[in-house]
Structures are given as structure tokens and as C-alpha cells.
Structure 1
Amino acid sequence: MDVKAIRQMFPILDQEVNGHPLVYLDSSATSQKPISVIEAVDNYYRKDNANVHRGVHTLGSRATDQYEGAREKVRRFINAKSTSEIIFNRGTTTGINTVAYSYARANLKPGDEVLITPMEHHSNIIPWQQAVKATGATLNYIPLQDDGTISLEDVRKLVTDNTKVVAIAHVSNVLGTINPIKEIAQIAHSKGAVLVVDGAQGVPHMKVDVQDLDCDFYAFSGHKMLAPTGIGVLYGKRELLENMEPVEFGGEMIDFVDLQDSTWKELPWKFEGGTPIIAGAIGLAAAIDFLEDVGMDNILNHEQKLADYVMDRLRTVDDIKVYGPEHRAALVTFNLGDVHPHDVATALDSYGIAVRAGHHCAQPLMKWLNVTATARASFYLYNTEDDVEKLVDGLLKTKEFFGHVF
């Protein structure tokens, strides 16, 4: 990977913040966009802006071709069997909620169990809380090991004949833990449960093959993988999606409407009520082109080297506490002595370094860590070892500034 050349394709990185060159370390929250994605969206609005599936005029046909072409591109990218298994939506949150409402509420009953982990993003906790409340089922948790990983032995013990849904993040947005999805799928299926995967931090950073993983549902967001905000994907096995009811009703998703009843379109359109996110899908297709040109294996290798490097360099900073396993995705969540994470982030921002601070939409995990908040630096294909050095230097300056608390 020629990271220097890659960086030149991201216009936003060529700027100063507070008098310093921007060091963007918040890609787990949202990634930056290459010029090819920006131009793809701009070109749609300049030349092809029209609604899809409805009109027979030229602009409508061109827009439809691009929109459905994006669906096929996503299908290939994650190796789904069919485009009917690719549902466009607003993002990971919408995808998980769709499964929790449409699949879980129709299939759960008292005595059934949903199994998740304490490391989940709120988007993979609250929908299941609501689903079990509505159905009388029970929500159980796989315990975390001391380093923030899970034990497959615990999974085997906790997945029982009563377990109907296992829902887990592919990669933790706080700990960087990479969960063994394929093995968990085998365990879940051995007891007749379905596996729902939060792939928000997975798809952007590694090659995902949903058929090889054998997950039943996999949700992810475009904005974390170089695409625009507001576009996401829910993958689901066709036989499951066909037996699920839509959660939004209106235009686009109907087949026939009578005064008292209606019927739905076939997959995937029955889950895409209303005017879809056309420009977002076109931008997502351009983002996939960019990622594939770089190579997902190259991206993963680059990020793994950065993860190892940042872990080594942070060991040189006194009073820093890093959370999560040694082998991790390219993000580090930490606290600097007694300095509040918001103060750490504010201080780093004064040096042009953008990191995240707070509970990261993972309050149960914060409780498990025995903290109220943390700071997080997350890396992507456009980051370098020099960015790591600037982070370490910024932390040392921050520590010095707040030295009175140590």
C-alpha cells in the first residue's frame, strides 16, 4: 500500500486544525471520503437525479441502473448468494432493528432466550431488550474474559435449546476485540438459533464472506467504509427474509394495494419502503470500488501493523491505561491517569488530533470496565505511523499540562 498516495485522494485530510496538520483518528465513528466517492455522488445529482424503479424516462432508467448496480456490487463484496439478500437502509442500527422487530418479535415466545455480550454497541442491545419485553423471552449475556474477549466454551455452555437468537459484534467498537463469528455461527446453528452480526466495524476493515461465516444476518454502515452517511446494508439469508414482514409500509415496497388489504413486492424491495437512499447507494458502490482497488487484505495488513505499533508506543506513556486484548483491530481505547477523557480529547484537538471521547454508545461495557468514559483513537487505511507518533506526542504534552492531577 502506498499510503502517501492514498492520503492524497482524501481532500479533507489536507488541512490544518488549530494551526496543526489534521491527524484524523476517529474513523470508527465515521470514515473520511475519497474524491472518487464525492464525485460519484456529485455526478448523480448533476446528471442523473431521478427516482428509481418508477419512471421509464432516461434519467429514471439511469438512476435505477446505478442503484441496482450498487446492490450487485455489495452482493459481490460480501459474497452473498443473491441480490435479494441485500437490503439497503440507513445503517447498522436500522438493520439490527429490522431483525429484532420483524424476525425476533414474530418468532420469540416466553421461555425463549436471546444471547448477546456486554461489549455490544447500544444498537445491538436496546433492540433485543425491547424484543424480549414484547414477547416474554429472556435476554442473557456471554461473560467477558479479563482482556475483553469471549470464550467459545462459554458460548457452548450458554447456547441452549431455548436460545433462538445470538447477536454479536464482529469487532468491538471500544475494545477492538475481533470475535470468532464462524465458530459462533456453528454453535448457534447446532441448537437451532440464528446468528445476527453487527458488522459496523468489520466490513470496512477486513474481507467478509457471509457464506463462509454462515451468519444469518449481517448489518453494516456505509459511512464507516468511505461511503456517504445515511446508507447501510442488511444482509439476510433469503429463506429467513422471505418469511419476515416489512417494518415500513408505503411506496416502493408494495405489489398491490386494495382498500382493505395490500401485498408486498418480492425481496429485497419489500423492505425498502419509500424513496430509497439513491445517492448513498451510488456512493457506497464507489467506496467499494476504492476499497477493492486498494485490496481488503492490504488494508487489514496495514491496520494490523498500525495496531501493533500504537500498542507498543503507548507503553512508553506513563499513567495510560489501554483497554482490550493485545491482538485487536486498529483502534485503542484508553484513559490517561485521572484526566477526564473529554479533557484529553480537547487537549489533543488543540494539536490537530481528532479522537473520540465518551462512553462510545457502550455504557454496559463502560460499567464492566469500571469507568464512566474513555478516549478512543481509531485508524484506517489513510493513517500512518507518523499519525501514531503525533498521538503519543500529544498525549505526553497533555499529561504535562494536566500534571497537577498526577
Structure 2
Amino acid sequence: MIRTLCGPARAVVSIAALLAIGCAACTSAIPGAATTTTTAAPSGIVAVDDRMQRSEEWLADFTQPNRPGCSAAAAVDGEVAWADAAGLADLDAAAPLTTATRFDLFGVSDQFVATAILLLAADGKLALNDPLSAHVPDLPPWADRVTVEHLLHHTSGVPEIWSRIQAAGFLAAHPATQADAMVLIRGVHELNFEPGTFFEGNGSNYLLLAEVVQSASGQSLPDFFRDRLFAPVQLDIDSSAQAAGDIAVNYAEVLGELQPDRSNGLLVNGPGLQYGTPTDLVRWAENYRTGSVGGPALLAAVEHGAVPIGPNPGGPSYGAGIFVRVDGSLEHGGWAPGEFSYFSVSPDRHTTVAIVCNHAGQGQGERMIQGLRQIWFGIP
């Protein structure tokens, strides 16, 4: 039986906490779905125009002038139905956020890494039951027991990397690179638990999967993403450290003051270096309905083997880079001191919402998520 863990204390966690898989440590700081029950959708069909107005009012409730802010979008059947942004992208330049402003998409990018793994499995370049050691060299002996599938579903037992990055002295001003993170992982001598026995969401799993993608494909992760994921669906997500243009500065609150934060910006895995907009995210979500990337087999693989994330049978689970709620919707969130992100696909796969903020201190994550889902899905 797979149990649910979070962090070194191995405590059972809530669904809300598990939306923060991309966070520095798995915590309940960024809530997601506060409940696993669903409510009936309102009778009748809400006009898109009405939903647009309600969404604009919703966004205004969570942003303040002259502060970092948020950008959000919704799409129906792949067509963007609403997009808006409020707040500042850069405090020093007083540059406003726009719907074209790109953000480091952080934790919601795990789905891209997972999709890459599933594509490579379909190509015959790897198998989900391959040991990690078959693709990433010079790891401790535990890599023989950890499989690609364990990493994919956060059941590997590999300890959280973010606390080790912080303990090693890496700061926002001097962020860890992918190579730095791998040195720290190679210094891990023991797993938190036997692989396959617990669910423990943490960033180490997908950082290691990024290494697997590069090893199995022979390409850098940015190149693989561009060629196999983004180009086929005409997305302009930039996966390089040289991303330029209208990019939001992330801000963390330090001793009561907002300071620029780029603590995760040099890692090449899902939680880092994926620059895009909420509009990109909701357009990508059309793939969960159409299978444009990977076809029906990939769509089936996303939920195949999903593991429970809580103690109750029949509750929410974690598939390939994304949570599967009991109402059938898909979602993922991410949190860092300087960023909050969230992405969700409706149970019928026709409607998608996404939001990214360049400051995690709004403190109203649960209300933000529930508001968007209520407006566009008719469910909390």
C-alpha cells in the first residue's frame, strides 16, 4: 500500500499541500483543492461574456497597484476565452504585467517533463521500469532500486533537494545550477523509504527525470521540449537561461520588504527555466483532450498507474506530472517564495484555467483557485 508523506517528518498531507510539488519543501503554504467533494454545476449555461466579466472582477480582488501581481487565462476547446493581468512585472521599472508577460512557470511545468518521459517510452528509448542508474551515471547504490516510474509518481524515496540547496548556502542572488543540484543529490546516501511504498511529493524526482530525458533522448531538455512538445502545438514557451523580453521579476518578502528572487531559475528541470504565459498553459491543456502530442496512448498513460496521495481509498491521485481529482479534473500547482502558479483542466477536458503570480505573498491561494474553478467549471 502506498502511503503519503511530505518532507522529512513523513507526515500525511492534505490535497492542498500537494499542489505545491514544485515548492522548496512540500508544505501547506499554497492551498489547492480544499475539499475532495464536488457540487452540482449551476443550472443552465453561463455565457462566456459573463464569465469574462466575473473573471476580471475576480482578478482585481487579488491584486494591488504598484505591487507584484498575477496573470490568468481560461480556454474552451483550445480557444482562449479570457486572459487578463494586473500588477507590476518589475517594481524598479514600474513595468506593468500584461497578458504577454512571461513567467518562470515553476511547478506546473512538471507535466512537460512527464510528457517527455512518456514520449520517450513510446519511442522505445526507455522503459518506465528502468532503474534510474540505467540513465543517470555516478549515483549512489540506491539508484539501482529507484525506477523511472517511481520518480514519475513521486514514490522514489529520494529526499527533497531544496532544503539541501539552501543548507549548502545557495541564495536567490547566487542560485544553484543543475550541476550544483546533481552534486548534492549524488551526496544522498539513504532514501527516505523503500521505493514504491509511499507518496512523497518533492522536487528531486523531476530534477532527476530531467536528467533521464536528456540521457535517453540525446538532446538538451530545452531542445527536446521545443521539438517534441511545443512546436507541434505552436507554443512559444522558452526553456533556456537566455530567455529575454517581457519577463516578470519574481519577488520574495524578506524582513517585510520585497526583494527579487531567482532561487530556482538555473535548474533545467520542470520547476525552473520554462518561461511562458497562462495563455500558453491553457492552450497546452487542449492536448489532454485531443492528444495532439503523443496521441491517445499518451493520454491514457497520463492517468495509468496514478498513485493515491491520501489515506482514503478512492481519493485524489497523482498521475504523470499532474494530480487527478476525484471529480475527474486535472491540476497542478507550484509555490516558491517569489511565485505562485496553478493550472487545471475541467472533468470533461473542454475548459482550462491557469494563473501565475510573481509574488507568493498574496496569501489567498485557496480562494484564487476556487474562484477560477467556480467561474469556469461551475465547481469549487
The TM-score normalised by the length of structure 2 is 0.25
Larger radius of gyration: 1
The TM-score normalised by the length of structure 1 is 0.23
Q: Larger RCO: Structure 1 or Structure 2 (Cα < 8 Å, ≥ 6 residues apart)?
A: 2
